[in-house]
Chains A and B, each alone.
Chain A
Amino acid sequence: MTTVSEHAPNPAAGDPSRPIGFGRIQRKEDPRFVRGRGNYVDDIVLPGMLHGAILRAPVAHARLLSIDASEALAHPKVVAVITGKDLEALNLAWAPTLSADVQAVLVTDKVRFQGQEVAFVVAEDRYAARDALELINVDYEFLPPVIDARKALDDGAPVIRDDLPGRTDNHIFDWEAGDAAETDAIFASADVVVAQELVYPRVHPAPMETCGAVADYDTVDGRLTLYETTQAPHAHRTLYAMVAGIPEHKIRVVSPDIGGGFGNKVGIYPGYILAVVGSIVTGKPVKWVEDRSENLMSTSFARDYIMQGEIAATKEGRILALRTNVLADHGAFNATAQPTKNPAGFFHIFTGSYDLAAAHCKVTGVYTNKAPGGVAYACSFRVTEAVYLVERMVDILARKLEMDPAELRLKNFIKPEQFPYANKTGWVYDSGNYEPAMRLSMEMAGYDELRREQKEKRERGELMGIGISFFTETVGAGPRKHFDIVGLGMADGAELRIHPTGKAVVRISVQSQGQGHETTFAQIVAEELGIPPEDIDVVHGDTDQTPFGLGTYGSRSTPVSGGAVAMVSRKVRDKARFIAAAMLETRAEDLEWEKGRWFVKGDPSAGKTISEIALGAHGTLTLPDGVDGNLDAEVTYDPPNLTFPFGAYICVVDIDPGTGHVKVRRFIAVDDCGTRINPMIIEGQVHGGLTDGVGMALMEMISFDEDGNCLSGSFMDYLIPTAMEVPDWETGFTVTPSPHHPIGAKGIGESATVGSPPAVVNAIVDALAPYGVTHMDMPCTPARVWEAMQGRTRPPV
């Protein structure tokens, strides 16, 4: 494979603000989905397939004394019961996580969170498998749990990870970025310093489809086929090879249609491994599909950062510095998905959109008796937390300075001429033009009019709030020199094949979970080669059929894989030039490209379309030396930097003073993700992300009682917005292309989830200003808002 690191300009590029490849076209994915003809994991049925179910721990912390599975095994439909002891014999009781920790596949020594996997039943149907769970008897010795992260490092706190050699406490890591001394010096002499503790509570991505797998191990040739809900099939294949000892060329991981991922489906869960073990043990395919409560209780949570934020400024409102200490609750196993060198992800983008003199952050990770996770739910590797921190702190500063929050932001933005901009914690922002986006958002909102309305309403005792969030994202990990997942560099491959009749297939290493890749990646090829999108098939998700790459999360598909697809198209275009020259009996240098066609300079009538060139490439034409037949190419794209999309969001809320109920009346979202491939799909991504953000701000939370019982393990208690809780979204955009990206495009998928929660909370706090409220933590439920209005401490959720 060729590694392409040079960034040839796109000769077809004209106006950078023009959408790519026919722009707002409808999706190729839709026809099967609207007919119920998608193919999700639980739709898969294989001959002789058995069903697995997991027995889960009823408590958060307990020593496992014994498991008696004899009654379950006597059930006429039960084929196997697998326990931790069985896995120990296979050396599979523990599996490596994406954070250089290990995670129990099945409990061997003790339970470390409620809902943890204890035993696996394989039966002839899913009802029998569930019946048999009731027949397994387990003895536990209960241990005191650690639930509050603030107490995890106390002297005498129970040691959760006594499986780790020499481990005597619950500390996982300390990580810092920026210059502490420089930052402290600025704080010491600043006119104004404001501090606030901000809790970003534990939430859950809760994709509509839960996690599941169908494992099919062929005992004759030792080949494993694994259909999985995975966002990163190639990385999974490599990890299975490393863990299970099955040679990688004999493992095929297939990620079929996925019913939403949202970061929930990046890592490897015990259930996947158990399906594989079940198939190896029984010699038959084994399906495992979790139910919603299992998904919420045991798969990757998101957030759970307790942040001590501080901001320093001059009295005129020049923001000077930010610093923060973060306590990160990682649950019982550190399974957080992020690049190896970044245990706190990209949290150090917390300097935001502002030109600061100094910044410093320190993050401390701790174990608690809860499910593992942390990085999920459209966080872009902790950018949600970073943006929430800076955008809340700027708002709190605005209140302190008695300045309008929009004005304070406008005053402190990084200026367009400062890009590429090196911030104080090691990032180089690629491009940005913040003020026009902010102005557009304010204009769409009718900002001044809203403030007038608010003033009038306040005089009448009505509670109306206006919240602003201006964010800078960092997406598209990343340059392989700096970013890897368990040692695998974060580059992405692409292969493009043009058939003799001019139809094309492009194989990509990333995996859609609804983001429309089958449509938009065809559009990139269409733009580069002039082939209509309907003549281009996009293949993804099958490791036997696609080039190696790291998968879809962190909004990295467009920045990395999109770059790969543009570059592979250009490689084909360059090859087509030589073939066209042979066909036209001229020299390649004499040809000029117009979309879809090479023609003779000065004689536009003499030319060959890509379709004609494809036929020539597969024909009997004598080709110049060094040019082989056919019209195919492959590349691995190693991006030179991440992309830094940004946005200006304004939220308007009305609060019922009697009940504390928050109504999001309007939400204005201006996003800039550089060149826009398909504006229709971008808008859909933004609508979805804004709904996540409103959900997190108002209602979503995974909470626990002091014994470690998960109190929100179903959709009865883990509330996500319905059509009733969200407004009609108002979206706008500006276009500031990424200078280093082959088509100028930046990622966008997570921007709205990242950017919207602080806008909602800022609006709520703004509405409650007459009550003297300066901050409240999410979720801003009616009970919490009402309590805040009473000047009381917050109730448990």
Chain B
Amino acid sequence: MASSKTITVEVDDVRYTDDVEPRLLLVQYLRERLGKTGTLVGCDTTNCGACTVHLDGVSVKSCTMLAVQADGHKVTTIEGMAQDGKLAPLQEAFHQCHALQCGFCTPGMIMQSASLLKENPHPTEAEIRDGLEGNLCRCTGYQNIVAAVKSVADGTVYDDSGVSTTAGETETAGVS
């Protein structure tokens, strides 16, 4: 691999120095070299956003960046979101609001949502939908994802009164 380049990247608060081929995509560097398989691949045309990570705090689709372009930068993946074993508010909110099913879009969706909230801490529903347009989901129909992001923006994520169990509840017919 005469053409390989040495890169130094900080990923989820750990510094890595590796020789990589220039053509190696960042997503495959993360997945195959570093074992960070939380970041996923859902397409080959940069449409789906399953591979979204943060580069110096800004969301990027890591399938559309070369690993060498991350040299000297700081990358955060879904695996770097929880701190000291405690879930980030968005992770907690996705759980509470049932904003995931198969979980395949979830890492990218959470990373994009975090970026969105950093840019616009109090988005409207329309702004949330617009901000997530680059992330496809096949399971949820988006509604609960929007609710999860909204609950973080509103600071209600740790108040689960609206979304959690009411054991033994009786429902006959109604609007849910």
> What residues of chain A have their CB less than 8 Å away from a CB belonging to chain B?
15, 17-19, 22-27, 29-38, 40, 42-43, 45, 125-127, 206-210, 257-260, 262, 291-293, 436, 440, 444, 513-516, 676, 679-681, 683-692, 714-716, 720-724, 726, 728-735
Query: Which of A18, A42, A688, A731 contacts B140, CB < 8 Å?
Result: A688
A714:B43 contact, CB within 8 angstroms: yes
B167:A26 contact, CB within 8 angstroms: no
- Give the CA-CA distance A25 to B169 in the complex, in Å: 11
- Give the CA-CA distance A23 to B103 in the complex, in Å: 21
Query: Which of B28, B91, B125 contacts A35, CB < 8 Å?
Result: B91
A17-B171, A735-B173 are known; give 16 further A-B pairs, CB within 8 A.
A17-B170, A17-B173, A23-B165, A23-B169, A26-B165, A30-B94, A35-B91, A38-B38, A208-B50, A259-B102, A293-B44, A513-B102, A514-B139, A685-B101, A723-B145, A723-B146
16 contacts between A and B (CB under 8 A): A17-B171, A18-B168, A24-B164, A26-B164, A30-B103, A34-B87, A42-B41, A43-B37, A259-B102, A676-B171, A681-B98, A688-B139, A689-B141, A692-B138, A723-B145, A731-B175
Stretch at the interface among B54-62, B64-72, B76-84: B76-84
B103:A514 contact, CB within 8 angstroms: yes
Q: Is the interface of A mostly helix, strand, loop or mixed?
A: loop
B100:A33 contact, CB within 8 angstroms: yes
C-beta contact mask, B44-55 vs A, less than 8 Å → 1, else 0?
110110100000
Closest 4 CB pairs of A and B: A36-B38, A514-B102, A259-B104, A33-B103
- Give chain A residues whose Cβ lies under 8 Å from the Cβ of B92: 34
B172:A17 contact, CB within 8 angstroms: yes
B110:A687 contact, CB within 8 angstroms: no
B137 interfacial contact with A, CB 8 Å: yes
- Give the CA-CA distance A514 to B101 in the complex, in Å: 4
**Nearest Cβ distance between residue A253 and chain B, in whole angstroms?**
19
- Give the CA-CA distance A714 to B87 in the complex, in Å: 35
- Give the CA-CA distance A30 to B99 in the complex, in Å: 9
C-beta contact mask, B115-154 vs A, less than 8 Å → 1, else 0?
0000000000100111011111111111111100000000
A23:B166 contact, CB within 8 angstroms: yes
B165:A24 contact, CB within 8 angstroms: yes
- Give chain B residues whose Cβ lies under 8 Å from the Cβ of A19: 169, 171
A209:B170 contact, CB within 8 angstroms: no
User: Looking across the interface, which residue of chain B has its beta carbon closest to that of A694?
Assistant: B141
B102:A679 contact, CB within 8 angstroms: no
- Give chain A residues whose Cβ lies under 8 Å from the Cβ of B50: 208
B100:A260 contact, CB within 8 angstroms: no
B105 interfacial contact with A, CB 8 Å: yes
Query: Which of A15, A40, A720, A735 contacts B136, CB < 8 Å?
Result: A720
- Give chain B residues whose Cβ lies under 8 Å from the Cβ of A30: 94-95, 100, 103
**Nearest Cβ distance between residue B42 and chain A, in whole angstroms?**
4
- Give the CA-CA distance A227 to B132 in the complex, in Å: 32
Query: Which of B31, B82, B101, B175 contacts A730, CB < 8 Å?
Result: B175
- Give the CA-CA distance A125 to B25 in the complex, in Å: 13
- Give chain B residues whose Cβ lies under 8 Å from the Cβ of A37: 38, 79
**Nearest Cβ distance between residue B61 and chain A, in whole angstroms?**
12
- Give the CA-CA distance A258 to B139 in the complex, in Å: 12
Decide yes or no: A292 and B95 within 8 Å by CB, A33-B103, A38-B103, A679-B176 being known contacts: no
B104:A208 contact, CB within 8 angstroms: yes
Decide yes or no: A24 and B101 within 8 Å by CB, A722-B133, A723-B146, A732-B176 being known contacts: no
User: Looking across the interface, which residue of chain B has its beta carbon closest to that of A683?
Assistant: B176
**Nearest Cβ distance between residue B169 and chain A, in whole angstroms?**
5
Most chain B CB atoms below 10 A, which of A36, A40, A516, A731:
A36
User: Looking across the interface, which residue of chain A has its beta carbon closest to that of B131?
Assistant: A723
B129:A127 contact, CB within 8 angstroms: no
B106:A722 contact, CB within 8 angstroms: no
Query: Which of B110, B125, B129, B165 contacts A22, CB < 8 Å?
Result: B165
User: Looking across the interface, which residue of chain B has its beta carbon closest to that of A672?
Assistant: B173
**Nearest Cβ distance between residue A606 and chain B, in whole angstroms?**
25
